[in-house]
Copies of this chain bind each other. A is one copy, B any other.
Amino acid sequence: MSGFSLELLGQDGAARTGVIHTPRGDIRTPAFMPVGTAATVKAMLPESVRETGADILLGNTYHLMLRPGAERIARLGGLHKFMNWQRPILTDSGGFQVMSLADLRKITEEGVKFQSHIDGHEEFLSPERAMEIQRLLGSDIQMVLDECPALPASREVIEKSLALSMRWAKRSKIAFGEQPGRACFGIVQGGVLADLRQRSAEALREIGFDGYAVGGLAVGEGQPAMFETLEATVPHLPTDRPRYLMGVGKPDDIVGAVERGIDMFDCVLPTRSGRNGQAFTWDGPLNLKNARHAEDSGPLDAACRCPACQNYSRAYLHHTVKAGEIISAMLLTWHNLAFYQDLMAGLRTAIAAGALARFANGFRARYGESGPSPA
């Protein structure tokens, strides 16, 4: 773990703020990681992603292994050079996308066989191959391969899946081996069953990881169940390692998870919403397609320093969304990533000041606790 460490700088209730030190740069926590699926954060140049305040990106092993291929990226000098992002990159294991995107999956003890959703060719992902791919990419934080059953599922199904995931976690850790300055994270599974989450956390601690992720949430269980599961899980994770809630989420999901001790997040929501004409603001999400913006000469958010807010009116954003212009995806993605990073900065400052409850309650009062539908 040389060169990779978590330094805690402040605590407020269960929430923490700090810095993850890595050879490629520091990651301020709580951190939001924009998703760069296919070696690009969609509709953004990496220098613009950095300008929003991002310290780290997420790359998707599943997409990159299929196209352009991990060995090719390695021959071209690794993912950082390939995509022009020199700061830390976390890669997932590919397991989640195999379950959600690939065709004709077949899971065995050894791993998972599937067909590419791009061209149908057959691929095989095992814990060992997942770690090999992430090593070839040059990933700074590598995730173990796990299996994530679709919810709702019976206790029996979840328990069986969890056992497999824990055996795969062990194999992943062994395959990761020693990579100075790089980290290997385990993933807690167990559905929304508190005792299974505890069992999973303890099994992973037994193996020993550089960080601990919470997987299998934000898959339809609802925010209350997600928060309850976090409350049942986080106390069983070590305090001196980063905690990462995978694939989460809406701004109010993030605020609640930070209050429950989570340090890292990733989600496609800000980027995907930006391509769909939706913008996040402190007063809740907005749909720029709505005709009420057509003659609005005001900015999206007067307090935001992103180019969309500094240089354009809501009327312009409405026009370019309606016309299907690429600039609308560029500007709204930039704004949404800036909003997420501003939210994380606000959370960090609030935790350091011991004022998280006030910040979080103020956020919810203005934004809307349950994340209103775009209007």
* A contact residues vs B (CB 8 Å cutoff): 38-40, 42-45, 67-68, 72, 75-77, 82-84, 275, 294-295, 297, 307, 311-313, 315-316, 318-320, 322-323, 325-327, 329-331
Query: Which residues on the B side are within 8 Å of A67 (C-beta)?
Result: 319, 322-323
Picked from B83, B315, B323, the residue with its CB within 8 Å of the CB of A82 is B315
Question: Contact between A316 and B83 (Cβ–Cβ < 8 Å)?
Answer: yes
Residues of B within 8 A of A331 (CB): 45
| Chain copies in complex | 2
**What distance in Å separates the Cβ of A98 from its nearest Cβ neighbour in chain B?**
18
Q: Which residues of B contact A297 (CB under 8 A)?
A: 76-77
Q: Once the chains are docked, how many angstroms separate the CA of A312 from the CA of B81?
A: 8
Report the bound CA distance from A38 to B326 in whole Å.
Answer: 11
Task: For residue A73, give the distance in angstroms from its CB to the closest CB of chain B.
Answer: 9
Given contacts A84-B311, A316-B82, contact A45 B295 (CB under 8 A): no
Which of A40, A297, A313 counts the most B-chain CB atoms under 10 A from its CB? A40
* A75 near B295: Cβ-Cβ < 8 Å: yes
Shortest CB-to-CB span from A338 to chain B, Å, is 15
Q: Is the CB of A325 within 8 A of B295?
A: no
Residues of B close to A38: CB separation below 8 A: 319-320, 323, 325
Give chain B residues whose Cβ lies under 8 Å from the Cβ of A327: 40, 42-45
Smallest Cβ-Cβ distance to A43: which chain B residue: B326
Report the minimal beta-carbon distance from A192 to chain B, rounded to whole angstroms.
35
Q: How far is the CB of A59 from chain B (nearest CB, A)?
A: 13
**Cα of A373 to Cα of B84 in the assembled complex, Å:** 30
Shortest 5 CB-CB contacts between residues of A and residues of B: A43-B326, A84-B311, A40-B327, A68-B319, A38-B323
User: B39–A295 contact, CB under 8 A?
Assistant: no
**CA of A294 to CA of B43 in the docked complex: distance in angstroms?**
22
Q: Which residues of B contact A326 (CB under 8 A)?
A: 40, 42-43, 275, 326, 329-330
Closest approach, in angstroms, between the C-beta of A230 and any C-beta of chain B?
34
Minimum CB distance partner of A44 in chain B: B327
| Given A43-B326, A68-B318, A82-B316, 16 extra CB contacts under 8 A | A38-B319, A38-B320, A38-B323, A38-B325, A39-B320, A40-B320, A40-B326, A43-B330, A44-B327, A45-B327, A68-B319, A76-B313, A76-B316, A77-B297, A82-B315, A84-B312
A72 touches B294 (CB 8 A): yes
**In the bound complex, what is the Cα–Cα distance between A17 and B169 (angstroms)?**
69
> Are A295 and B42 in touch, CB under 8 angstroms?
no
Interface pair A325/B72, CB less than 8 Å apart: no
Contact assessment for A45 and B316 in the assembled complex, using a CB-CB cutoff below 8 Å:
no
Contact partners of A320 in chain B: CB under 8 A: 38-40
Across the interface, which residues of B come within 8 angstroms of A325, CB to CB? Answer: 38, 40, 42
Candidate in A39, A68, A77, A82 with the most chain B CB atoms within 10 angstroms = A68
**Which residues from chain B contact A44 at a C-beta distance below 8 Å?**
327
Chain B residue numbers with a CB within 8 Å of A319 are 38-39, 67-68, 82
